[in-house]
Structure 1
Amino acid sequence: MNSMKIKKGDKVRVIAGKDKGKEGEVTRALPKLHRVVVKNVNVAKKSMRPTQQNPQGGIVSIDAPIQVSNVMLVCPSCGQPTRVGKREENGKRVRFCKKCNATID
């Protein structure tokens, strides 16, 4: 099974679904489920019971996971959504942008 090419902290653009065209930062990666949680994308409402941390309770908005195939990484150097490749540089595996060939990390 291939590892995910998108990590926590990456800037991504949604390419499919109800939030198509939105950009945001990955707040969580769930590799076993092939999903990522993107800030302000796929927002769902959740009823919260009053607790000591949240005495008010009520309905809150949370960011739900989205399929990793529905997002593309936005390259930090060229600013375009791009596919990601992996290569070895100085004995270390790094990700690179397939459009501008710049290393991502």
Structure 2
Amino acid sequence: MSVKQKEKKPLHLAKMNIKKGDTVLIITGKDKGKEGTVSRALPQVNKVIVEGLNIAKKHVRPQGQTRQGGIIEKAMPLHVSNVMLKCTECNEPTRVGHERRPMGADQKLRPVRICKHCGKAIEDRMRSS
């Protein structure tokens, strides 16, 4: 009996509005109402891993001399539809829009994520640091 796995999208077709480093609010599930930072984005399967949230206990066996066995706590992926991005300007959970705005020294039009709540650009935490 085989378990049917969900097919992964090719990386060039996988698009998500949430990126690594974004602050998100969990809107469904056991951690509903909690906030956290996205530690990893998995666009091929439309999931994100949020630091310290959606924790599951995992039983692992020892692997020779390198890893000790036992029960570890691991942050498991959440579907993107179960989290909501928090705006960097108004600090409210919001839907995301896209706009092309002039940016950089050459003032070239580049795509920017827009907060639907306040209309300002959402700051990309990974680029600014």
After superposition, residues 1-105 of structure 1 pair within 5 angstroms as 3-51=15-63, 52-54=65-67, 56-90=68-102, 91-105=109-123
Partner deviation per Cα, 1:5-49 (whole Å, 9 max, x = no partner)? 000110000011111001000011111111111111111111122
CA contact (8 A) 2:14 2:43 kept: no
TM value normalised by structure 1: 0.91
2-side partners of 1:2 and 1:73: how far apart? 18
Q: Which runs of 5+ in 2 are unaligned?
A: 1-12, 103-108, 124-129
Q: How many residues align?
A: 104
Root-mean-square deviation over aligned CA pairs = 1.4
27-36 vs 42-51, which moves further? 42-51
Identity of aligned residues (%): 52
Q: Which runs of 5+ in 1 are unaligned?
A: none
TM value normalised by structure 2: 0.75
Q: 1:87 to 1:2 in 2, by over 3 A?
A: farther
1-side partners of 2:99 and 2:37: how far apart? 24
Specify the code of the residue in structure 2 equivalent to 1:12.
V
Larger Rg: 2
2-side partners of 1:50 and 1:2: how far apart? 35
**2:44 is paired with a residue of what secondary structure?**
helix
Runs of 4+ in 1 over 6 A off after TM superposition: none
